[in-house]
Amino acid sequence: MTERPLVLVLLYVGFANGLGLPGVSSLTSAITGGGGGGGSSLSGVLGAGGGTGGGAGGGGGGSSRIAACSKNTQFLCNYPPSGQGEQPVFLIGANIPWTDYNMGSFGDRKFFLLTLPDLYKFVLKVNLAGGNTIRLFLHNEGIGRPMGAPGNTVSLDIFQTYLDELQDFIRFCHSNNIYVILVLWNGGHVTPGLGHLKDLITSETAIQAYINNALTPMVQKLKDEPAVLGWDIINQPEGIMKKNVTDKNDCWDNTYLEKKAPGRKVGWAGELVTPKELQKFINKLAAAIRKEYKSINLEPQITVSAYHMMTLTFQWQCKNLYNDFCLQASGGEEEGYLSLWSTHAFDEKDKAEFDVYSIFEKPYAAYAMGGHNTPPRPLIISEFTTKRGRPHSKWSLDKQVDYLYRSGYAGRKT
């Protein structure tokens, strides 16, 4: 089993060109511009790792590929091109804000004309504060690019600059030792544009058009970029999931969530698609990504960011709605599975505390995400609450990061 350092400050050894850096509250302050631990939802990327006599995150950012460790697949390792062997890494960073939510930050020369300064500044802040990862949203609900009409993808942009602009940004991240998780779609935001996303997910023709005209060209362009840590197919898919769907097939029945899921229920952004439709969409896109990586003999890191562990665990009479079997049964693609898990952890708004199923109340080993017959996969905490305008009685940001690092998780983004 991979040994893990016990001192939290080791998370920062090896980041930012190997310099020792201040604690996590400094990372928070640098990214948000406020006091450490402030902000309504500081979302960070927390990755698992550890080291044999070394610091988590050793080796810094973009010079190495990231994959599950071969000795203990619960954790993430980087693989330097020098052939030194795997080096356990703990991901820590932040979700990067979009410069224009509806239209995105790239395409039609927009990046170089408008958004480059803000995005570059954000990356530099993460780097200087000791982070090694950002999570970058791309299409959101598809209101602007890459949709031509609702549900119909013609190309990523009109003037064909999208891919070059995105690649240039990723290479800038690489030069600053920052990994990038690319988030394709977002189901968690309440907006009239969700109809575009529904039209895509519910039509096999539309899914294939997106794969052919947007996703495949993007993966072909970026698969050789070592700073691309992974692909998050959809953020908070539960936000557009229909409630109380009954089905004889256990994969497609989500009635348990009304009883188990705390706080806001599924479908808060709009009850638009069934679990089966979401699973098919995820399966098709994951298979398309994996197909392109096979040409360079690499296993891509593919995930979906669940809004809560109740859709990722087989414990407590719950189920992992994104497990291999359900995705393959819904979409028919054998290669359409996830290679790591991702979840969020928000406190209950009226209680200022986390519920009993939250990752802040249970260690990694409690969840059995892949069932009992699947090897462990890394779990990253891709968004979590630090505080919503009031302090937690139990948690500070420093304590949250320390707990997640010691409890078997692969990383966190605030």
pLDDT at residue 107, rounded to an integer: 84
Query: Mean pLDDT, to the nearest integer, of 268-272?
Result: 92
Grade residue 285 by pLDDT with cuts at 50, 70 and 90: very high
Q: What is the pLDDT of residues 114-143, one digit of tens each?
A: 788 888 999 999 999 889 999 999 988 887
Question: What's the pTM value of the predicted model, to 2 decimals?
Answer: 0.84
Strand partners, 45: 412
Which backbone phi and psi does 268 adopt, to 5 degrees?
-65, -30
Following CA atoms 213, 214, 219, 221 in sequence, which dihedral angle do they give, to the nearest 10 degrees? 80
Q: What is the pLDDT of residues 42-96, one digit of tens each?
A: 334 444 433 222 233 333 444 578 888 887 888 888 777 666 678 888 888 888 8
Q: What is the pLDDT of residues 374-384, one digit of tens each?
A: 778 888 888 87
Q: How far apart are the first and last CA of the chain?
A: 28
- DSSP label at residue 179: E
Between CA 340 and CA 342 the distance in angstroms is: 7
pLDDT at residue 35, rounded to an integer: 31
354 closest CA partner among 300, 401, 394: 394
What's the chain's average pLDDT?
77
pLDDT of 368 strictly over 70: yes
**Cβ-contact 233, 341 below 8 angstroms:** no
Which backbone phi and psi does 250 adopt, to 5 degrees?
-60, -25
pLDDT of 148 strictly over 80: no
pLDDT of 8 strictly over 60: no
pLDDT of 29 strictly over 70: no
Token pair belonging to 221 = 């362009």
* 408 torsion bin: left (phi>0), alpha (psi -120 to 50), beta (else): left
Residue 299, amino acid: E
pLDDT of 168 strictly over 90: yes
Between CA 412 and CA 133 the distance in angstroms is: 9
Between CA 290 and CA 182 the distance in angstroms is: 15
**Cβ-contact 131, 15 below 8 angstroms:** yes
pLDDT at residue 48, rounded to an integer: 40
pLDDT of 219 strictly over 90: yes
Between CA 340 and CA 320 the distance in angstroms is: 13
